[in-house]
Structure formats: C-alpha cells, structure tokens
Structure 1
C-alpha cells in the first residue's frame, strides 16, 4: 500500500511540475489570472482529487486567510475562486529556480522574516495589489503544519489588514496533508473540503482579532473532524 502511495506521489508531482510549466508558457498569452487557474485545474483534474465547498465566498473580500498543510492548498484555493489571487510567501521561495518564477511572473508578494524593511515593502506591495482588485491570500501560520492543530498565526496578516482596513475572509482546509504530503512522498486521490467562514472588516483597535481568529478556525476544523469520520 505504501509503495502505491509513493508511486502516486511521484505521478502527482510530475503532473504538478508539468502544469506549472504550462502556467509559465501561457502567462503572457492568456489574460490574467487564467494561466494560473489553468495550471491549478490541470493539477486538480489530472491527479483525481475533488473539492467540496461549504459556505460562500464573499465577493467583496480583499484578503483570504487559510490554514496550511500541503502544497495542494494553493491548487484548492485557485480552483474554488475565480478571483485573481496574490499569494504572500517567504522570500526564499522567490529565489528558488523554476518555482520562484511561478511567484514572480504574477507579481506575488515576497516577505523576509524578522526584517523591518521587508515589513515596509510588504505594506507597499499590498497597496499596489489592492489597487488592481486582486485578493491578498496568506497562510498566517507561515509554514506547513501536517498536524491537526494550527500553528500560531504570524503578525504580518494583521498588520496588512489593519493598515488597509481590509475585508478578511478565513478559509479552513480540512486535512490536505492526508492526501498529498511532500515530506513523506505520499499521495492518494480523495475529496478535500474547503470551508468559507464569515468575512469581517479588520479592526486595528482590536489587538487580539488574529489570535481569536485562529481559535475560531481551529474550532471549525475540529468540528468538521468530529462530525465527519471520513476525514479521520
């Protein structure tokens, strides 16, 4: 069974690489954001996973905040919304061969941890993006967590949202690492669930809203696992 999962992971990874190459080749041919959407849909269809969406996307949302477990998270989000997403990612990813180009071409936002100058740049880049009606999309945990407990949320999301008084919509993804786990070389097709929570306008006077949001998202995640045995 593990051998089959490893073979499936290799197949899925090849599909992902090919689809991302197509995104690069079509970026200047297709209107944005269709090259990225095409790539995401090719991945989703070719490796045989489906997505069940619960709740409704707020068409006025200016920022999406997602929990992060797997590389599939980006594919899921790109295929459940038609909006042009601007992903915020650590600068090291932008410097990587090939994958860095996937982030640079659409002008996604790079952040450098523990850097005050990077924070200033983040705020400037956020203003640039908002003027083009793109949606700032972040993993506030800052890195993947393959466990069922979300990591503490980094302050960057709150700083950007507060500075621009953004309408924020949280999205909870259920156990995506159960299907694609790059560390364990594991993949199996399945049905991933994405839950849109209620949107809200960031209030800079509320110092704890990001911390409270993590608790609310964790509660949604825990309730889904408790009430749906198929996720376990």
Structure 2
C-alpha cells in the first residue's frame, strides 16, 4: 500500500513539475530576471507539499555554489532557497530535450559536452561570462545523481573553473531530496526539504586538495542531517 501511494504521489508531482516549467516559460518574458525561475520553483514546492527549509545563509558575494545531487527537484529546491540569480551547469543533451530543454535554454544556463576535450575550456569561459553579469554559477561536481546515501567522487571541473578565476565558492548540502522525488524509482513523498549553506571560501590553486576535502566535509554534514531524519 505504501508503494502504491508513493507511485500516485510521484505521478502527481510530475504533473506539478510540468505545470511549473510551463509557468516559467510563459512568465519569462514578462517578469524581471530571475523571478521566472523563482516563481516556477516555489510553485512546484508549494503544490508538491515539499516546502524548502534553509539552514545558514547564502553568501551574497558567492560566485559559485557546489552542491550534491540526488533528485530532479534539487534545482528547484536551491532556486527556492535564495533570491540570487543562479545559472546552472548541465550536460548538453538536456538542452535538446523537448519542453524541458526550452525551460533551461531561456534562462541561459551553461551546456557541457562531456564527450568533448574542449568542454572544460568552454565551461571556464562561459562561467566567467555569467559571473560578470552578476549571476552565481551552480555546479553538481558528482556529475550525475547519487544513490541518496554516499556522494559520488567529485569531478575536477568545478575546481578548474573556481581556481582559474579565484572564485568565492560556497558549498551547499541538499538533504535526502531523492526521498521526496525519485524519478528513477517512480516514488514521491511529501515533507520539508532541507538546504544547508556552509561557509564560503576563496578557491586557490595552491590548495590541490580543496575539492576532495570539501566532499568529505559535505558528506559529514549530510550524514548528520540524514541521521536526524531517520531517528
């Protein structure tokens, strides 16, 4: 019975996400940036009954956010947690997906061709361009969704971008978002989503291990919050 309710909730959530993306596309030409994304994201979480609870605060000077990745609602969760104009780095294939691709193209997000050797060079250049526009770049250094327990090894792209430009980086830990919306397993659940903002820092080429050290720190924070949820 629990599985049936999770499937029904998942299907309902899909409808809400579709409506939310439609809302973004329709309102985008008429509202100031970045409120099209904020309106759509907050609509999604309101009607999915997954309110976003924020722990800590985003650094107003942060130029890059590094977050763990578990669910398709990670983006909307982060959008709801801040008024900053976020720009997302995503694999190139997503920009060609019907409807969804339009929703990310209109907000000028950054496509990455993972099969191209020049992809990192393009990522560095495009990230700097968005930052110069006053936007904050968001990267999921795992590269793909994790299983909801242990983060995947962080890939070096985020470090290369941050080191090249000496960016102020702020880590963000999303707590168990796959519990509330799991596209692969077709499962959905209501309940509050927690977004934890950690202290920001300035990236430096002199610290060769800051990204791997950051993964360890983020995993510790994640485990602590997950234990509270499961208790």
* Cα distance between partner residues in 2 of 1:114 and 1:134: 26
Ranges of 4+ aligned residues in structure 1 off by more than 4 Å:
none
* Cα distance between partner residues in 2 of 1:17 and 1:30: 20
Aligned twin of 2:35: 34
Q: Secondary structure at the match of 1:56?
A: coil
Gap runs ≥5 in structure 1: none
* Cα distance between partner residues in 1 of 2:201 and 2:45: 30
Aligned twin of 1:148: 149
Please list, as runs of the form range in 1=range in 2, the aligned pairs for 1:128-167 lying within 5 A after superposition: 128-167=129-168
Q: Secondary structure at the match of 1:48?
A: coil
Aligned twin of 1:219: 220
Please tell me whether the aligned partners of residues 174 and 231 of structure 1 are also in contact (alpha carbons under 8 angstroms).
no
* Cα distance between partner residues in 2 of 1:220 and 1:161: 22
Aligned twin of 1:122: 123
Aligned twin of 2:55: 54
Gap runs ≥5 in structure 2: none
Cα distance, 1:218 vs. partner? 0.5
Cα distance, 1:51 vs. partner? 2.1
* Cα distance between partner residues in 2 of 1:19 and 1:50: 15
Cα distance, 1:87 vs. partner? 0.2
Cα distance, 1:114 vs. partner? 4.1
TM-score, normalisation: structure 2: 0.96
Please tell me whether the aligned partners of residues 175 and 231 of structure 1 are also in contact (alpha carbons under 8 angstroms).
no
1:83-139 deviation digits (Å, cap 9, x = unpaired): 000000010111211111111111100111142222221111112101111000011
* Cα distance between partner residues in 2 of 1:36 and 1:193: 19
* Cα distance between partner residues in 2 of 1:19 and 1:57: 24
Aligned twin of 2:81: 80
1:170-219 deviation digits (Å, cap 9, x = unpaired): 00011111111001111010111111111000011111111111011011
Please tell me whether the aligned partners of residues 53 and 81 of structure 2 are also in contact (alpha carbons under 8 angstroms).
no
Q: Secondary structure at the match of 1:116?
A: coil
* Cα distance between partner residues in 1 of 2:214 and 2:206: 15
Q: How many residues align structurally?
A: 230
Please list, as runs of the form range in 1=range in 2, the aligned pairs for 1:205-216 lying within 5 A after superposition: 205-216=206-217
Cα distance, 1:146 vs. partner? 2.2
Q: Secondary structure at the match of 2:38?
A: helix
Please tell me whether the aligned partners of residues 62 and 136 of structure 1 are also in contact (alpha carbons under 8 angstroms).
yes
Q: Secondary structure at the match of 2:118?
A: helix
Aligned twin of 1:99: 100
Instruction: Compare 217-226 and 182-191 and name the one that shifted more.
Output: 217-226
Name the Cα RMSD after superposition: 1.1
